Amino acid sequence: MVEIAQGLLAGFATALKPLYLYYALLGAILGTITGVLPGLGPLGAMAILLSFTLSMDATGAMILFAGIYYGAMYGGSTTSILLNIPGEAASVVTCIDGYKMAGKGRAGAALTVAAAGSFVAGTISILGLMVVALFLSDIALRFGPAEFFAIGVCGLLLLARLSGGSLLQSFIMILVGMALGTVGVDFLTGTERFTFGNVELGQGIDFLPVAMGIFGIAEVLTTVEEKESFQTVQKVRIRELLPTGQEWRRALPAMFRGSLLGFLIGLVPGPSPVIATFVSYISEKRFSKNPEEFGEGAIEAVAGPEAANNAAVGGAYVPLFALGIPFTPAMAMVLGTLMLHGLTPGPNLIKEKSDLFWAVIASMYIGNFMLIVLNLPLVNVFVSILRVPKNILMPVIVIICMIGVYSVNSSLLDLLLLAVFGLVGYILRAEGFQAAPLILAMVIGPMLETSLRQALNITGGNITEMIFRPICLSLYILASLTFFVPLLMKLIRRGKKRTPAHRERVLG
Amino acid sequence: MITNSQRRHKIIALFLFGFSLFYFLGSFRLKMGNLKNPGPGFIPVAIGFFLVAFTALYVFRVLRGPSSTGKKEMPPARDKNYRAIAGILLCTAVYPFILEPLNFIFSTLIVCFIMLLLLRPGKILFSFLLSLAMAVGAFLIFARLFGVGLPSGFLEVFLFRIGGPT
């Protein structure tokens, strides 16, 4: 406990330096803007800004990204409530009741509850992050390659199950991502793999052009697909922002429940903020005394999911800080940033770079506070960004993506890869493939390969020894259960539907 | 009758299968090693094998028809701006080839101007002025403010000197 308090104090001393405060503010503003703009989520913003963090130190870059992530969650709720447009996927649920509340003249109250929920969740998840990440990193120090391989395999299996869309498509994306991760010189033997004699490819396919292409350029292409449409933006008066006592009484418990749920779901691989909002909405409806109000403007349906998506952000940082394994695409970006700054994420990071860890934690508190102070009074300013015509905004994003990719290695090959993966991302999106598994597998794949080869070397090729280690076995059982139980349930349900008794019941 | 969307599904599925096959066969050129001492081809062969298996299954599903992929056929797309999509993609693909010969400002101006023209047809002067502002603004922000090294000629050097040393 003393260690946590000391670390946190040191973190605040660092995060309160003017330069880091500026980065936190910049991240919060940029995050809110990207959250407000439909399509361009936190991932796109991080991808675009990744290369520009090179001019900062690692702590500054991490503070900026934490601000963007939280800010996007705040910004997404604003357009959901006022315009019925989810700024990003995690705000879809907020549209249902938030927009209904706006229709009843309670837009201000919904915005305040969403912001307060996000603040409460941010604080709770940061507390959780501190405790769980420290605890887990201590345990992870005892992990060997076999355990890291097991964690990676479980992560990818869960990702395939949870990332939405068809399971087969998710597996294909994971394998394509892993295949891309094998391009370059093999670090153990120095053998070139799939480089076709190209010197630049010897260093491997950089994560940045792939991520920017798939999330940035593909997003632009999807957006310009449709003709321009203008939004009528509703104004919110400052004096309308305060919820009534009754509204607070209903919203507060939902915020705490949403925070807890969100944090726990954030620990699981996949699009955790999105899943957290849906789970929170369903559980709030189940526990509510007035379930009939859900869908008609229930304040719990705004408070719970908004808290859940913010708490999931904190939860998602745990596996990255404690194990060095990203479980969400946004965390893969954060990992990429750490690696660009010469840091190797893993259990040792918290011990060796404790100043960075605590500064990021402290900056999350500060960022959350900044967001609540900034966002409510400036809600009309942020919403007015939607008035910028997208046919001006989109070329700007393309140019930023191109400069961003070029600035890291001054490589023309990276620029070509950006174009190629922009096209690939656009086609895959149109075909219903999820891009997140590809990106994550591309990052986790090389780690998996290293762990597997090291583990096989250590055990002398004994696979059973690798599987039957206590932690590995527990992880494999857990992953198998999570993976196969829903499949079995589906098969059982399908079997039941085919029985003559069921057919009779259905047909009357 | 085969719809455009069904044809597209089939092409994509076959392309994915082709890629998988190419990767799988390519991985055999690498040393596999053995379980005790896995070589550089050990993981690629495993990835390739599963990739071929899964994409073959996907091709099979797609060829069997829309009901087997679980996808509902979307109504035909209305008013999609394919010209803009192709134009933006082309701009992104051409940019690497013109960036160094033409230097940053001129190449960015060209690419930006084409994209704006595709998205706002008819507004030539406006698009040109906006592109110029974007190219110069981007150079000043990224090269001067963020210190990004961008290909420079006399125009860039002149702009870089404005306002004195950074």
Give the DSSP per-residue string, A167-204.
HHHHHHHHHHHHHHHT-EE-TTT--EES-TT-TGGGG-
Q: How far apart are CA B47 and CA A438, in angstroms?
A: 13
**Which residues in chain A are contacts of B147 at CB distance < 8 A?**
55
Task: Flag the least confident range among A68-72, A81-85, B137-141.
Answer: A81-85
Contact present, A157 and A171 (Cβ < 8 Å) = no
A221 CA to centre of own chain: 22
Contact present, A408 and A212 (Cβ < 8 Å) = no
pLDDT at position A232 is 56
- What residues contact residue B129 under an 8 Å CB cut-off, 6+ apart? none
Q: Ranked by mean pLDDT, which of A46-60, A102-116, A186-200 comes out on top? A: A186-200
Q: How far apart are CA B160 and CA B154, in angstroms?
A: 10
Q: Residue B40 to residues A54, A203, A292, A392: CA-CA distances in angstroms?
A: 32, 15, 60, 47
Q: Which amino acid is at A282?
A: I
Q: How far apart are CA B86 and CA B98, in angstroms?
A: 18
pLDDT in tens, A194-212: 988 888 888 888 888 888 8
Question: Which of B10, B37, B43 is the best substitution to test chain A (most A C-beta atoms within 10 A)?
Answer: B43
pLDDT in tens, B141-159: 878 777 778 888 888 888 7
**Which residues in chain B are contacts of A418 at CB distance < 8 A?**
92
Q: How far apart are CA A508 and CA A67, in angstroms?
A: 57
Q: How far apart are CA A453 and CA B39, in angstroms?
A: 8
Contact present, A48 and A401 (Cβ < 8 Å) = yes
Nearest one of A102, A31, A37, A101 to A73, comparing CA atoms: A31
Mean pLDDT of A67-84: 78
**Rg of chain A in Å (alpha carbons):** 23
Torsion of CA B54, B43, A136, A310, to 10 degrees: -40
pLDDT at position B1 is 60
Q: Do A415 and B85 touch (CB under 8 A)?
A: no
Q: Do B30 and A193 touch (CB under 8 A)?
A: yes
Size of interface A-B (CB pairs under 8 A): 169
**Which residues in chain B are contacts of A407 at CB distance < 8 A?**
142, 146, 148-150
Nearest one of A385, A419, A220, A384 to B118, comparing CA atoms: A220
Q: Do B115 and A394 touch (CB under 8 A)?
A: yes
pLDDT averaged over every residue in chain B: 84
Joined together, the tokens standing for residue A259 give: 């925070």
Partner-chain residue, chosen from A403, A420, A427, that has the shortest CB–CB distance to B148: A403
pLDDT in tens, A453-497: 999 988 888 888 888 888 889 888 988 887 788 778 878 887 776
Query: Would the pLDDT of A184 be above 60?
Result: yes
Query: Would the pLDDT of A269 be above 80?
Result: no
User: What is the number of other CB atoms lying within 10 angstroms of the CB of residue A10?
Assistant: 15
ipTM over 0.95: no
Query: Would the pLDDT of A285 be above 70?
Result: yes
Q: How far apart are CA A379 and CA A9, in angstroms?
A: 32
Q: Residue A67 to residues A34, A313, A370, A407: CA-CA distances in angstroms?
A: 12, 11, 9, 23
pLDDT at position A172 is 94
pLDDT in tens, B18-28: 999 999 999 99
Q: How far apart are CA A414 and CA A430, in angstroms?
A: 24
Q: What is the pTM of this model?
A: 0.80
End-to-end CA distance of chain B: 65
H/E stretch holding B96 reads helix B82-102
Q: How far apart are CA A178 and CA A205, in angstroms?
A: 11
A118 CA to centre of own chain: 15
Q: How far apart are CA B108 and CA B123, in angstroms?
A: 18
Task: Flag the least confident range among A49-53, A216-220, A476-480, B11-15.
Answer: A49-53
Query: Would the pLDDT of A340 be above 90?
Result: no
A151 CA to centre of own chain: 19
Torsion of CA A292, A296, A299, A300, to 10 degrees: 40
Q: Chain A closest CA to B91's CA: distance in Å?
A: 9
Q: How far apart are CA A136 and CA A349, in angstroms?
A: 12
A198 CA to centre of own chain: 34
Query: Would the pLDDT of A319 be above 80?
Result: yes
Contact present, A429 and A215 (Cβ < 8 Å) = no
End-to-end CA distance of chain A: 64
The 3-state secondary structure of A295-320 reads CCCCCHHHHHHHHHHHHHHHHHHHHH
Q: Chain B closest CA to A234's CA: distance in Å?
A: 27
Joined together, the tokens standing for residue A415 give: 């620029």
Q: Do A392 and B130 touch (CB under 8 A)?
A: yes
Q: How far apart are CA A147 and CA B37, in angstroms?
A: 19
Q: Do A186 and B147 touch (CB under 8 A)?
A: no
Q: Do B138 and A403 touch (CB under 8 A)?
A: yes
Torsion of CA A293, A296, A302, A305, to 10 degrees: 80
Q: Do B48 and A394 touch (CB under 8 A)?
A: no
Partner-chain residue, chosen from B19, B36, B138, that has the shortest CB–CB distance to A399: B138
Q: Do B108 and A427 touch (CB under 8 A)?
A: no
Give every residue of chain B whose pLDDT is below 70, as ranges.
1-2, 66-79, 162-166
Angle at A272 between CA A483 and CA B9, to 5 degrees: 65
Question: Long-range pairs for A239-248 at CB < 8 Å and ≥24 separation?
Answer: A239/A108, A240/A105, A240/A107, A240/A108, A240/A109, A241/A108, A241/A109, A241/A111, A241/A112, A241/A376, A242/A108, A242/A109, A242/A112, A243/A106, A243/A109, A243/A112, A243/A113, A243/A299, A244/A109, A247/A106, A247/A109, A247/A113, A247/A299
Tell me the DSSP string of A93-124: HHHHHHHHHHHTT-HHHHHHHHHHHHHHHHHH
Nearest one of A431, A426, A487, A443 to A167, comparing CA atoms: A487
pLDDT in tens, A144-159: 889 888 888 888 887 7
Please report which confidence band the pLDDT of residue A183 belongs to, taking 50, 70 and 90 as the band edges: very high
Q: How far apart are CA A20 and CA A10, in angstroms?
A: 14
